[in-house]
Structure 1
Amino acid sequence: MPRTLQSAFDAGMQCLASDPYGHDSAPVKADGDRREATVRGVVVRYYVSATVLTVTVVRVVYI
């Protein structure tokens, strides 16, 4: 990933981490804690664990 995109992606992920259910994210199937969002043109699939305040990214697709 080019450095400029990496910087923009990192900033976008910080925003997403502050509100993992917002920022145009969508639930994956029936599980509201499994989410998918596009961050600066990169598709990110992640899992939110509110009990321990953790967002775990399970897949990043960059083409």
Structure 2
Amino acid sequence: MEPDLQERFDGAMERISDDPYGHGSTAINKETDRREATVAGVVIRYYVSRSVLTVTVVRGVYI
């Protein structure tokens, strides 16, 4: 990832970590904790762990 995109992506991920169910994210297959969102032009799929506030990105696609 180029430094400019990395900086924007990191900032967007900080906002996602503050509210992982918001920011335009959608549930995948009606699973509330399995999410998809576009952040800084990068499509990500992630899981949210409620017990220990953790967001784990499992896939990121950027061009």
Same fold per superposition (TM over 0.5): yes
Question: What's 1:7 paired with?
Answer: 7
**What is the Cα-based RMSD across aligned positions, in Å?**
0.6
Question: What's 1:35 paired with?
Answer: 35
What is the CA–CA distance in structure 1 between the aligned matches of 2:18 and 2:40, rounded to whole Å? Answer: 16
- Structure 1 runs of 4+ with >4 Å offset: none
Amino acid of the structure 2 residue aligned with 1:48: V
Bigger fraction of residues in helix? 1
Give the paired residue count.
Answer: 63
TM-score scaled by length of structure 1: 0.95
TM-score scaled by length of structure 2: 0.95
**What are the ranges of 5 or more consecutive residues in structure 2 without an aligned counterpart?**
none
1:32 Cα offset (Å):
0.7
**What are the ranges of 5 or more consecutive residues in structure 1 without an aligned counterpart?**
none
What is the CA–CA distance in structure 2 between the aligned matches of 1:53 and 1:13, rounded to whole Å? Answer: 14
1:17 Cα offset (Å):
0.6
Amino acid of the structure 2 residue aligned with 1:4: D
Question: What's 1:61 paired with?
Answer: 61
SS in 1 for 2:45: strand
Q: Identity over aligned residues, as a percent?
A: 60
1:7 Cα offset (Å):
0.2
Q: Deviations over 1:28-58 (max 9, x none)?
A: 1121100000001000100001111111111
